[in-house]
Structure 1
Amino acid sequence: MLALLGFLMIAVFMYLIMTKRLSALIALMVIPVIFALIGGFGGEIGKMMLDGVKSVAPTGIMIMFAILFFGVMIDAGLFDPVVEKIVRIVKGDPLKVAMGTACLILFVSLDGDGTTAYMITVSAMLPLYKRVGMNPLILAGIAVLGSGVMNLLPWGGPTARAMSALGVGVSELYVPVIPAQIGGVLVVLFVAFHYGRKERKRLGVIQISQDAIDEVAAGEMAAASATVEEDESIKRPKLIWVNFALTIALLVSLVVGVLPTPVLFMVAFAIAIMINYPHMDQQKERISTYAGNVLSVVSLIFAAGIFTGILTGTEMVDAMANSLIAIIPEELGPYFAVITAIASAPFTFFMSNDAFYFGVLPVLAETAATYGLDPVEIGRASLLGLPVHLLSPLVPSTYLLVGMAGVEFGDLQKMMLKWASLATIVMTIVAVLTGVISIG
C-alpha cells in the first residue's frame, strides 16, 4: 500500500510540473502533504516536514551565497579580460575560434548560470563566427555541451537538487566526481577541435588585420556587457587579480575541505563584496540585484526538504525500493550505479531536473542500498547524464541559446546528441576507474 501511494505521489508530482499545472515550488510542498494525509500520517506531518527542511538547510545556504559570490565576480568584471583575450587570440583561424569558444563557455559557466554563460559566449563569439564564415551551429553546439559538463557544479542546480534529495554535502557528492567532470571537459575540447578542424579545411585561415581584431574585440565586449545588463560603473578592473585569487582560493578550499562548504561561500562572499563594493549603498544595490535569482533557487531547495522529509518519514521510499528490488534481476544489483549513470541521460532528457532528482533519485538510492551500495554513489551516478539533459526540449535556457545563435533546435539536437552521449559515457568510465561509483 505504501509503495503504491509513493509511486502515485511521484507520478502526480511529475505530471503536474511537466504539464505546468503547478510550479515545482508549490508541487514540492502541496503534493506530499496531500498524500501523507491520505496515508493516515496527519499527526506526524509537521515533524517530517521540519526534519526534511533541516536536512537541506546547509545546501540552501551554500546555494544562496554561491549565487551572491559569483554575482559579485561577474559584476566586478572577473570574466571580461578572458572574453577579450580569447577574441584577440583566435583571430581568423576557425580551429582557434572553435577552441576559444570551448574555453570561454567552460570558464564563464563557473558561475553555474547557463543563461548568463550563453549570453556572454554567444554575444562575444557570434560576430567573429560571421566574419570568418563559420557555421553558428558549431558555436551553439560547443556552448550547450560545455554548459552541460559544467552543470555538475554544486551551485549549478542539478547537484544541489541531488544533495537535497539525499541529504549529503558537497564533499561527499560532488568533490569525488571532479575527475569525471574533467573527463567531460576533455570531450568538450575534443569536439571543439573536431569541428574547428573541419571548418579550417572548408574555409582556410581568414586573414584579419590587428586593427580589425581590436575593433571586433571591443565591439563584442560591449555587446556582451549590454546583453547581461552590466553597468560599467560597477566594474572593478583594478581588482581583477584580487578577485581571481579569491576565486581560486575558494575553489581550492572547496576541494580540500578547509571549512564546511556553506561557511566557505559565506566568508568568500563577505570578503568579495567588501573589497569590490565597500560602501553600504553599493552592497545593498548589488544584493538586491541578485535577490530574484537567490529566492527562486533557494526556495526550491527548502520546498524539496518537505518533499523528501515526507517521502522518508512515511517510509514510502523504503516500500518503493522494495518493490523495485522484486522486479530487478538479482545479478544486476551490483551494477546499479552504472545503470543509473547511463539511465540518467534519458531520464533527465524526458523529464525535468525537479522530477528526476526529487522524485526518482530517492527511490533509486534506497533500492541501491539493499544491494550494499552507498546511496551517495547513486547520487554521483545521477549527475553523469547532464550533458544530454541540456539538449532536452524541457530546458528553457537552450531556447535562448538557439535564438541568440540563430539556429534550429532540431539541428542542434541532431548534431550534439551523439557528443553529449559520449561525454556521459566518458564521465561514467572515469567515475568507475576512480572508484567514485562501484561496479561488480
Structure 2
Amino acid sequence: MLIVLSILMLVCFIFCLMARRLSALTALIVIPTIFALLGGFHAQMGKFVLDGLRTVAPNGVMIIFAMLYFMVMTEAGMFDPLVNKVVKAVHGDPVKIFLGTVLLAFIVALDGDGATIYIIVLSAFLPIYQRLGLSLPMVCCLLLQVSGLGNMVPWGGPTARAATAMHIDVGDMFVPMIPALLACVVWTFVLAWVFGRRERVRLGEGLSWKAVHAPQAQDRGRGPLTFYFNWLLTLGLIACLCIEVLPLSYLFMLAACVALMVNFPGLNQQKEQLEQHAPPILAVSSLIFAAGVFTGLFTGTGMVNAVGTALLKIIPDAMGPYMAPVTALLSIPMTWLVSNDVFYFGVLPVLADTARHHGISGIEMARASLVGQPVHILSPLVASTYLVVSMLKLDYAGNQRFTFKWSLVNCFILLVISLLLGVIPFAAA
C-alpha cells in the first residue's frame, strides 16, 4: 500500500510541475500533505514536517543572508567595474561570456556548495546576460552542470556520504575518479561553447560591447576605500567558507551585517536595503522551506524507503555480477527521487551487500553511486536549485525540461570514462 501511495504521489507531483498545474511552492506543500492524509498519517504529520524543516533550516538561513550580502554588495557598486571590464573584454560575444561563466563557476565550486556558485557568479554576470539579451535557461543549465560536478569534491556531501556508508577512505575512493570528472568538466566547457554559438547566431554576429555599455557606478558606495574593503571582505568570506571556520549560515549572517553597516551606515538606509531586497529573498526562502515540508512528509511517512525497496526488488538476480553499472544507472533516478542521505545510507548498503557476494568491492560501489549526481542537482529536494531558478526568474518545470538532457549526458560521460578506466568494473571478475 505504501509503495503504491508513494509512486502515485511522485507521479502526481511531477505531473503538476511539468504540466504547470501548480507552482513549485504549492506542489511541494500541498501534494505530500494530501497523500500523507490518504495514508492515515494525520497524527504524526506535524512531527514529520518539523523534522523536515530542521533539515533545510541551516541551508535556508544561509541562502537568505547570502542573498542579502551579495545584493547589498551589488547595490554598493562592488561588481560594476568587473562588469564593465568583462563586457568590454568579450566584445559582446556570447561564446566568451558563457566560457567565462563556466570558468568562474568551477573556481567557486571548489568550496563544494551550489548556493555559493549561483550567488557569486550571478551577482557579477547577471547584468551582462540581461544587457546582451542572452538565454537565461542556458545560463541556468551551465551553472547546474558545474554545481552537480562541484558537489562531488571530497568535502562535498555525496562523496563523503558514500565513503562513510562503505567505511572506506574518501581519498582512495575519489582520486581514481578525477580523470572521469575532468572529462565532464571539459564537456561542460564544450556545452558552453555550443550554447554560445547558438546565441551568437540568434543575436547576430555584429553585436559588440559598444552597443551594450554597462552603467557606471556613480553615487554608489562610499568611495574607493569602501570599494576595496568590500572586495577584501568578500575574499575573506570565501576563504572562511572553504575552510569552514564557522557554520556557513553564521558566516553569511555576520558578513551581511558588516556589509550593511559599512556601505549603508544610516539606519534608514539599512531599512531601505532590507525592504528593497526582501521580495526576491522571500521568494527563494519560501521554496526552500516548502521543500522541507516535502522532505519531512516523504521521509517520515516511510514513502521514501518504500520507493527504494521497490526499486531494489525489481533488480533480477542475474544482474548480480553487473551491480556496479546497475548501481550507477540506478543512482540517476534514485538521487532525483530521494535525498542523498536516504540513497547513500539506506539504499547503497543494500546494493553493496548484494555486490559483495559477487566479488565487487565497497569502494567500487561507492564510486558507481556518484554517477547520478549531475542529475541529482535537479531534484526538487535540492534547495539551492530553487535559488538559481529564482535569481534568473525562470519557470522551475521549464528549467527541468531544458536542463535534464544535458545533465544526463554528464552522467553518461562520467559512467563511460569510469568503465573504460576500470574505476567502476563492468562485471565482477
CA RMSD of aligned residues (A): 5.1
Q: Which residue of 2 aligns with 1:309?
A: 296
The 5 Å alignment of 1:183-262 reads 186-189=186-189, 216=210, 220-222=213-215, 232-235=218-221, 238=224, 239-262=226-249
CA distance in 1, matches of 2:57, 2:414: 29
Query: Is contact 2:142-2:192 (8 Å) kept?
Result: no
Q: Which residue of 1 aligns with 2:350?
A: 370
Amino acid at match of 1:147: L
Are 2:109 and 1:122 equivalent residues in the alignment? no
Query: Is contact 1:102-1:146 (8 Å) kept?
Result: no
CA distance in 2, matches of 1:258, 1:430: 36
Q: Which residue of 1 aligns with 2:108?
A: none
Query: Is contact 1:63-1:298 (8 Å) kept?
Result: yes
**Alpha-carbon distance change, 311 to 110 in structure 1, aligned in 2, over 3 angstroms:** closer
Give the C-alpha shift of residue 10 in structure 1.
1.4
Give the C-alpha shift of residue 58 in structure 1.
0.9
Are 2:291 and 1:274 equivalent residues in the alignment? no
CA distance in 2, matches of 1:270, 1:377: 41
Give the C-alpha shift of residue 116 in structure 1.
6.9
Query: Is contact 2:16-2:27 (8 Å) kept?
Result: yes
Amino acid at match of 1:371: L
- Between the two proteins, what is the percent identity of the paired residues? 32
CA distance in 1, matches of 2:128, 2:13: 35
The 5 Å alignment of 1:332-351 reads 332-335=322-325, 338-339=328-329, 343=332
CA distance in 1, matches of 2:247, 2:67: 17
Q: Which residue of 1 aligns with 2:111?
A: none
Q: Which residue of 1 aligns with 2:51?
A: 51
**Alpha-carbon distance change, 7 to 438 in structure 1, aligned in 2, over 3 angstroms:** farther
Are 2:9 and 1:2 equivalent residues in the alignment? no
Are 2:110 and 1:103 equivalent residues in the alignment? no
Give the C-alpha shift of residue 74 in structure 1.
1.8
What does the per-residue CA deviation read over 1:392-425, in whole Å, with 9 as the maximum and x for residues that have no partner? xxx9889989xxxxxxx9xxx8xx9998766555
Amino acid at match of 1:367: V
Give the C-alpha shift of residue 63 in structure 1.
1.3
Give the C-alpha shift of residue 339 in structure 1.
2.3
CA distance in 1, matches of 2:79, 2:252: 19
Q: Which residue of 1 aligns with 2:32?
A: 32
Are 2:157 and 1:172 equivalent residues in the alignment? yes
Amino acid at match of 1:272: A
Q: Which residue of 1 aligns with 2:143?
A: 147
Which segments of 5 or more consecutive residues in structure 2 lack a partner in the other structure? 106-115, 161-169, 353-361, 380-387
Amino acid at match of 1:220: H
Query: Is contact 1:2-1:319 (8 Å) kept?
Result: yes
**Alpha-carbon distance change, 386 to 256 in structure 1, aligned in 2, over 3 angstroms:** same
Amino acid at match of 2:29: M
What does the per-residue CA deviation read over 1:199-238, in whole Å, with 9 as the maximum and x for residues that have no partner? 99xxxx99xxxxx97xx28x5112xx8xxxxx84444562
Count, aligned residues? 365
What does the per-residue CA deviation read over 1:270-298, in whole Å, with 9 as the maximum and x for residues that have no partner? 12222211112111111222211111111
Query: Is contact 2:374-2:407 (8 Å) kept?
Result: no
Which segments of 5 or more consecutive residues in structure 1 lack a partner in the other structure? 127-135, 160-169, 207-211, 226-230, 348-355, 390-394, 402-408
Query: Is contact 1:48-1:313 (8 Å) kept?
Result: yes
Give the C-alpha shift of residue 144 in structure 1.
5.7
CA distance in 2, matches of 1:369, 1:296: 38
Query: Is contact 1:171-1:257 (8 Å) kept?
Result: no
Amino acid at match of 1:280: L
What does the per-residue CA deviation read over 1:19-69, in whole Å, with 9 as the maximum and x for residues that have no partner? 222222222222222222221222211211111112221111111111111
Query: Is contact 1:105-1:121 (8 Å) kept?
Result: no
Amino acid at match of 2:6: G
Give the C-alpha shift of residue 7 in structure 1.
0.9
CA distance in 1, matches of 2:287, 2:121: 18
Amino acid at match of 1:103: G
Q: Which residue of 2 aligns with 1:81?
A: 81
What does the per-residue CA deviation read over 1:253-283, in whole Å, with 9 as the maximum and x for residues that have no partner? 2221111111111112112222211112111
CA distance in 1, matches of 2:149, 2:219: 30
Q: Which residue of 2 aligns with 1:68?
A: 68
Query: Is contact 1:338-1:438 (8 Å) kept?
Result: no
